[in-house]
Amino acid sequence: MDIALVILAAGKGTRMNSDLPKVLHPIAQAPMLAHALQAGAALEPARTVVVAGHGADLVRAAVAELDETAEVVLQEEQNGTAHAVDMARPALEEFEGDVVVLFGDTPFIRPETLDAMVAARGRHDMVILGFDTAHPDARYGRLVMQGDRLARIVEYKDASEEERAIRFCNSGLLACDAKTLFSLIAEVGNDNAAGEYYLTEVAELANARGLSVTAVKCDEAETLGINSRADLAEADAVFQARARAELLDLGVTLMAPETVYLAFDTYIGRDSVIEPNVVFGPGVTVESEATIRAFSHLEGCHVSRGATVGPFARLRPGAELAEHVHIGNFVEIKNAQIAEGAKVNHLSYIGDADVGAKTNIGAGTITCNYDGVMKHRTVIGERAFIGSNTMLVAPVTVGNDAMTATGSVITKDVPAEAMAVARARQENKPGLAVKLFEKLKAIKANKEKGQ
């Protein structure tokens, strides 16, 4: 049966104290909404509808980048969760299948949990997601079960002492046939203190119709909701701990796991070694048997098998390192292809460039790629040797097996096997250093006397 995701993302998040919509605040350098979309994508949904409200234009732009097939609908007034889901009704009017409702600010629902909900839907008309709370005084709605049937959802404030003792709590997520769900929502009232339409009421309405309602259980950590900056920090810490543990299980060595910061989409292959205090930004792939040394920062880059990066290196978007490349300390690579076995070991900037196989880039080399208006490319062939402190003024090409002399400013192409020398002739002036220092000291002394 086809599945439609409805992701609620309309909340302002007042406690975030921010102009940014709550669901766009980042966890592991990706909007929390991206985490919800990723979890839901495991169900291979036929349709995805995101319900936006506060900052809808920003949410719409983010969704377009995250999932171009998703549709964004607007909840102009935030009148409760049932009202929010109802905003998806026009978009799903002709849809034949199940709706799974997720929250954009609940980013840690596992695909396995959603699979369990879908499996339970095969036996019941409606499935609610619940969890056992470790905090008996938590003010969650309680799920009152009778065997495998959910009899009712009781809000904490309305629960008896006996019902408050129940540890099985409501997460707010559910799965139900689309037509049934929207017909139930049409019956939801707003006779409550907040005057809002709550999605939790659909379970009771379904029972009143004689429909089969059940609840499946997930770990409480999966239901962590984000309502404040403190919650956001906690969620990021949860993500990091899980991601590090997964890498260790997959055969990656983290020398000091608690100091390694991972992004939402970081991929690291087995037998790679990550030293302390490494930061991974979005879009990083590190293949097997690579080494990322301490205090390096990587984003938007690809590191191939057996390559070494750092310490204190920076790989920026578009950096592509082939197998067994060496990138050393205080080296920055941006939008550059570094071919197999090439070395850039010390204090260099290689931007908008192609570096051939087994080429050696000397310390202090800079590709001068920007003329103030446009970027230009530097091409260095195979087995070339670029002397220390060489400035390569792009666009420029250095051929295979060519060499540049230390301290050169290269403004013209260097043919294959040639050596380029581009620096002023050195002249030595006997005794001039001493005379110059004596003159400068005298000037300084006169100034101090004048004071």
Tokens of 1: 């049966």
Burial label, 213 (beta-carbon count in 10 A; 0-12, 13-18, 19+): buried
Tokens of 32: 């929390």
**Cβ atoms < 10 Å from Cβ of 17:** 8
Provide the residue type at 378 as one letter.
T
Query: Pseudo-torsion of CA 129, 20, 296, 381, nearest 10°?
Result: 110
Closest by CA to 227, choosing from 12, 13, 8, 9, is 13
Write b or e for each residue in 351-369: b if 16 or more Cβ atoms lie within 10 A of its Cβ, otherwise e. Answer: bbbbbbbebbbbbbbbbbb
Closest by CA to 344, choosing from 322, 323, 328, is 328
Query: Can 326 be counted among the known catalytic residues?
Result: no
Q: Contact at 8 Å (CB) between 227 and 139?
A: no
What is the β-pairing status of strands 98-103 and 168-177?
Answer: antiparallel
Residue 362 DSSP label: P
Residue 86 half-sphere exposure, CB side, CA atoms within 13 Å? 20
The Cα–Cα gap between 356 and 383 comes to 7
* Angle formed at CA 311 by CA 309 and CA 314, multiple of 5 degrees: 65
* Angle formed at CA 379 by CA 373 and CA 311, multiple of 5 degrees: 90
**Residue with structure tokens 């998806």?**
88
Closest by CA to 304, choosing from 328, 291, 322, is 322
**Residue with structure tokens 């929502």?**
185
As a residue count, the chain comes to 451
- Please identify which of the residues 135, 326, 346, 376 carries the catalytic annotation: 346
The Cα–Cα gap between 46 and 73 comes to 17
What is the β-pairing status of strands 326-329 and 308-309?
Answer: parallel
Query: Pseudo-torsion of CA 363, 364, 367, 372, nearest 10°?
Result: 170
Active site residues: 346
